[in-house]
Amino acid sequence: MADVAPNPRPERSIDIYRRSAAWLEENLPPGWSMSSDRPRSPAAPNRLLITAPDGESVSYAIIARKGVLSGDVARIASELSDSDRGFVCAHYLSDPVRRQLDGHGISYGDATGNVSLLATRPTIWVRNRGADADPWRGPGRPSGVLTGEPSERVVRALADYVGEMSVPELIKLSGTSTGAAYRVVEVLYERELLTRLPRGPITDVRWPHMLRAWAADRKPCPTRGFAAPGGLDDLLARLAATDGDPGYAVTGIGATDYATPAVLEVYADDVDAFAAAMDLRPIDGGADVMVATPWSAVVFERMQYRNGLRCVAPAHAYADLAAGPFRHPDAAEYLLTTLTTDEPAWRRPVRRTR
């Protein structure tokens, strides 16, 4: 294991790259060399070139990140062309992330000395072990995973609202405690899902990537299957006629215009009360209604209305379609395209009171 010096954690992309590249260069075989282009600081270089003693070389796309989690690796792999190689560098890469990168054939290095570089032509394999734990993560620092009610509330607020936003404004919009909101913002910042001025406001949110990360991280809600004796058309008509009781929010395909759902997917604040009010019958298989108990009441906030039905907000519908018990990848991508094409239709401007 590498002896990791207690240096300050690198924050700029160029410093993350330099620290990782230094470990890589130290572990290259004799006669091999490395070089990179020279972009303007603080950006990291775009390409890494590894050259063999006979002059043959191999090029890698440099992907510098403050933090990388397991859920990010598939997206990084998808953004690389089939013919390109990637070199991911970060201040620290955990063992699960390194194994994910290995599985996708992506080379990497971090500032603690964890290094893996692979190529078949010229043939090279470099491996070095650095830290087994993030040496810069102190007590109370966020875990880096977007799970739990604070994450749901903060992510939803950042997706639902558009415009420069201070963290105190985010706290008010999301209904999250001060400490929890700052922790989630730090996780999103480390994963480069938002841009924030030093000690200042959030200026930009990469909301499609943020929603993908949230969907991948969160735990699926418990669900129960039911049969609607009168059929879905009758159930939909009855739901549209309700005036607030029982509390529900349609999600999944039913919250989009992608297709007519064969199974209606719903959140209910009291599953038993909802089932009783709608005369639903519990069933083990072949259910045409799936009812979920939400982790957070945020599913009932900033809802959209479709054909008289109360539906979850578009951002929540996308996350449900992207992962979890209501997963439908084709519908998720359809909805994401729709949301990207017409952001003003669903993202609300941040309104400030004087």
In the predicted structure, residue 125 carries a pLDDT above the cut 50 = yes
Shared-domain flag, residues 228 and 205: no
Q: What is the CATH number of the domain that holds 174?
A: 1.10.10.10
Shared-domain flag, residues 46 and 96: yes
* pLDDT per residue as tens digits for the range 46-58: 999 999 999 999 9
Closest CA to 110 of 130, 125, 95: 130
* pLDDT per residue as tens digits for the range 142-188: 667 888 899 999 999 999 999 999 999 999 999 999 989 988 998 89
Nearest-angstrom CA–CA distance, 266 and 286:
16
Beta-strand ranges (E) seen in the chain are: 33-36, 47-51, 57-64, 86-90, 107-110, 115-120, 123-128, 161-162, 194-196, 202-205, 223-227, 248-251, 264-268, 281-282, 289-292, 304-306, 309-311, 348-349
Nearest-angstrom CA–CA distance, 213 and 167:
20
Provide the pLDDT for residue 349: 93
Shared-domain flag, residues 229 and 305: yes
Is residue 116 in a domain?
yes
Say how many domains are in the chain.
3
Is residue 4 in a domain?
no
Shared-domain flag, residues 214 and 234: no
Shared-domain flag, residues 88 and 173: no
In the predicted structure, residue 222 carries a pLDDT above the cut 60 = yes
Is residue 291 in a domain?
yes
Closest CA to 251 of 191, 321, 180, 204: 321
Is residue 138 in a domain?
no
Average pLDDT over residues 87-107: 92
Q: Which residues contact 15 (CB under 8 A, 6 or more apart)?
A: 42
Shared-domain flag, residues 24 and 116: yes
Closest CA to 325 of 175, 220, 178, 214: 220
Is residue 344 in a domain?
no
Share above pLDDT 90 across residues of the chain, in percent, rounded to a whole number: 64
Shared-domain flag, residues 23 and 67: yes
Shared-domain flag, residues 234 and 201: no
Is residue 85 in a domain?
yes
Shared-domain flag, residues 26 and 113: yes
Shared-domain flag, residues 318 and 231: yes
Provide the pLDDT for residue 5: 45
Residue 181's domain spans which residues? 149-218
* pLDDT per residue as tens digits for the range 98-115: 998 999 999 999 999 999
